[in-house]
Amino acid sequence: MLFVGQGTRPNLVTAYYYIFFGIVCILGGALGYARARSKASIIAGGISGALLILAGILARGFIPYAIGIVVSVLLLAHFGRSFVASRKPMPAVPMILLSLVCIGLTVRHLIH
């Protein structure tokens, strides 16, 4: 099995979501670099994506979930501020929604 976690359904859903979200972050960072030559996008997307994928692969104990929620809150803060300042929905709105789902799944997992 890919995950070290207990194998419960909420644990797997959260772990798979971390991996999905991590891939989206990496692809978004690469897209930001390709479109605007933004080194900050590729670095931030790569780091946040790698951390989320790592949290999804480990998915056992408190630390991976702490990583997942911290990264998600930071992404939510960054893209929320970006959206308020520019009113441009892309990429802010999808990243805000993905971050909120990630936070919700993590909190749900930690409560159970």
CA–CA dist 34, 16 (Å, integer): 27
Query: Is 47 within a domain?
Result: yes
Which of 69 and 61 is assigned the larger pLDDT? 69
**52 occurs within a structural domain:** yes
Q: What DSSP assignment string belongs to 37-63?
A: --HHHHHHHHHHHHHHHHHHHH--SSH
Joined tokens for residue 72: 């998600």
pLDDT for 8 equals: 54
Give the pTM.
Answer: 0.89
Assess if residue 66 is contained within a domain: yes
How far is the C-alpha of 101 from the C-alpha of 72, rounded, in Å? 9
16 domain-assigned? yes
Q: For residue 95, tell me if it sits in a domain.
A: yes
In a domain? residue 64 = yes
Task: Name the residue range of residue 90's domain.
Answer: 9-107
- Structural domain total, the chain: 1
Mean pLDDT of 76-91: 96
Residue 28 covered by a domain = yes
- Residue 3 included in any domain: no
Above 70 in pLDDT, residue 2?
Answer: no
Instruction: List, for residues 62-77, the tens digit of each pLDDT value.
Output: 999 999 999 999 999 9
